[in-house]
A and B are shown apart, each in its own frame.
Chain A
């Protein structure tokens, strides 16, 4: 197993939290919660319109690839295994976030159907325009022992 990716860091990526994208995202996950659509209610409940819990995945819109540290994994055998978010401060519409991703760990496990699977966890720290750490996401990529046999 090649652990040389651990510690590798991508370039900072800047992401604007846009009202239209927040609402489009909420609709896409079938969430009509007025906290995304009614500004007065959102201000009372949460201090403003916040990003939905999985909205940080849209960082891809702002990243031309330089933000993602290379994993040295075979894309044909790659699965998205887990995704985690820690929310440290509210993320509001209008915020300008800067995300820095770093490969946190690489490890192996024996697969249920035989073969060794390699896991790589990439952590991304999101800071807002006040340089406050607002969220950390962790994405686990899994490289399967053979080309993924889709069910």
Chain B
């Protein structure tokens, strides 16, 4: 029989609920290069040590959208990919090789709009020093029991 995965239901969600954290331990240069290849963003500042130093950086640093991608994984694990309706990120501190990134979030609002159950939430990606690399927010639809199948 088909695998049944844990689903989020509207009657189980409360404002203030924590979104389970997703942790990326010790980001590597290879992780950064893999994202460059996957995204097509080959700005050398993210993979070329010589270029990064010439631009005044100690070394290469991660794409903001790589960290945003980790945050996206965190939120879609919680709401389900097909339920996400809006996702926004704002970039703050940069992410460096060796950094451990913790993505987490919280439900801030639970409501009905146009006859659909919705939640809004805030998201964050923090480095190991507790500094915010990415601030995020999202809106998702959440199924009620009545539409369960």
Contact = CB atoms under 8 A, between A and B. Distances in A.
Contacts of A57: 39-41, 65
Interface string B31-56: 10011011111000000000000011
A13 B5 CA distance: 37
A31 B69 contact: yes
Contact of A60 (B41, B68, B70): B41
Contacts of A30: 24, 31, 70, 73
Interface stretch (A4-12, A19-27, A96-104, A125-133): A19-27
Contacts of A79: 91
A62 B21 CA distance: 34
B128 interface: no
B65 A33 contact: no
Nearest to A47: B82
Nearest to A30: B24
A34 B5 CA distance: 10
Interface string B52-92: 00011100000011101110110111001110111111110
Interface residues of B, number: 39
Contact of B76 (A40, A53, A150): A53
Contacts of A113: none
A117 to B, nearest CB: 14
Given A60-B40, A149-B56, A29 B86 contact: no
A65 interface: no
A94 B5 CA distance: 25
B17 to A, nearest CB: 20
B88 A85 contact: yes
B2 interface: yes
B72 A27 contact: no
Contact of B38 (A25, A84, A151): A25
Scoring A29, A45, A54, A151 by chain B CB atoms within 10 A of each residue's CB, the highest score goes to A29
Interface in A42-93: 44-47, 50, 52-54, 57-58, 60-61, 79-87, 90
B47 to A, nearest CB: 13
Contacts of B56: 149-150
A29 B91 contact: no
B94 interface: yes
B114 interface: no
Closest 10 CB pairs of A and B: A29-B69, A28-B38, A46-B82, A53-B72, A84-B88, A31-B73, A61-B40, A60-B40, A28-B35, A25-B38
